[in-house]
Structure 1
Amino acid sequence: MTKLAPVRTPALLALFSHLCALMACWLLLFASARLLGVQVTLLVASLIQGLLAALIGQRLGLSGWWWPINLGFFPGLVLMQNYALPPWVPLIGFVVLLLLNWNALVERVPLYLTGPAAERVLAERLARLGDGFRFVDLGCGVGGSLLRLARAYPTASFVGVETAPLSFLICWLRCLPRRNCSVRMRSLWREPLGRYDAVYCFLSPAPMPRLWEKARIEMRPGALLISNSFEVPGVPAEEVLPVDDLRRSRLLIWRPGHAAAPDGPGANG
């Protein structure tokens, strides 16, 4: 059995980045004051600390969405102190971020949103499946792409899977008016994949090996596993669809079933 790499919790890496940045910032300001006679305001010091924390976090492998959080955390605290905001304001902000990004803490899967260009390429590829296909978005977030795809293909069936509480609630409310779209508050590891013709995910590198094994066991021949940007280590994609966006994204497509079959629900039995 293949050994998995040790889990590195992003929240702990972010905390470690801030601790290192605090120490480095204190040493830098202390040396500047003693040697050069330069003193800075608390806001400038917090900006220096935030920049160092963001750089350290990036070097430690934190995803890009952590950059503005690390950069703005301490400056935000200083600004709130200056404006005498009540203490529950940052607490509410933290709770909202936590409820939206719960998966980043427990499964190293941050809240990535499918961009418009990637969504167009995905919609064009789904058109080749024929009428009545079944689609699941593993980690659908707030459901924007899921709903737009459901509107584009009214005869198909769309399911979202999400465990971040606030993201799930927003997606559930948005899905209510659509009969061909639903969302489940369920871990992607508990969602059976054998019922779907297309399985879409925009996760992170961490869960891709385990997802591949799950898909290889559960998915039917000919069904598509579509990953936005993230590869399965050691398994070349059967199709690579480039996306014209700033991140130079790609849609990577595999057929994990044991035998390939023609596209379309009818081909899968």
Structure 2
Amino acid sequence: MIAAVDLAEKTKQYWQDGYTVLPGLFGSEEVDAFRAECERLWNVEGLDDDLNLRTEFRRGPDGGYAFDRLDPVLDISPTLNGAATGTKLMGALEAVLGGSAEILKCKLIRKEPGVKGYATHQDFLYWKWLDTAPDLLCTVVINLYPSDERSGGIAFYRGSHQELVPGPPGNPEGDCDPDRLDPSRIHVPALAAGDVLVFHSLTPHFSGPNDSEHPRTVLLPSYCVTDDTKLYQKYYQQEIIRRCKEMVGFERYFARNESL
């Protein structure tokens, strides 16, 4: 467990830079259990079906689709549920955020070697419908393997979490335009297995491709300082409707069945 004096310093860094790292929050035995659980989930029959609404895909190095994530994941994994909602992490978050938090959402991402990363964005843009102040929202990265820039670790624009950054000229309501941000403030924290990274909902961030030889596996729960114990259910009720409207997976279904 992180000492109180260290947690105070990490809290200061979080509000100053928009993110902080809680080193070694989870021990090696816990990490081993999380890794084993992720391998189990990745081999559950049907979870890699592109018509499964909890499954998402990314373009792989060969141009095909790579099984990328499970979202949500906590309802099918007591082990990962314990990681995301246990007293160890929740206590640290209460200190950093300055209040008791409830879980908002949680996904498991496995970025295979060669799979591309994600463009610059701010999480709060997708949470505006919650009608909650951005200071009350954060995302956590529970790191299961060593992670750095080469493996496609998350890059942050340090200290750039004061407001929503407009999108590009052709889409001002879209994800933030990196041309409006200072590239000298980009930083990719190097993380060890068991480290936990916490970042503010307005912190601009992106990731590059995984150029390492191993998958980059992380558990990403998000939280809100609130007394609404039904927040997680509300989020996924909304998310299911969104995914159905966008027909997740159907483009691949019809591509495989041209006669339909």
Q: Which has the higher contact order (CA 8 A, sep 6+)?
A: 2
Question: Bigger radius of gyration, 1 or 2?
Answer: 1
TM-score (norm 1): 0.23
> Greater helix percent: which structure?
1
Give TM-score scaled by structure 2 length: 0.24
Greater share of residues in strand:
2
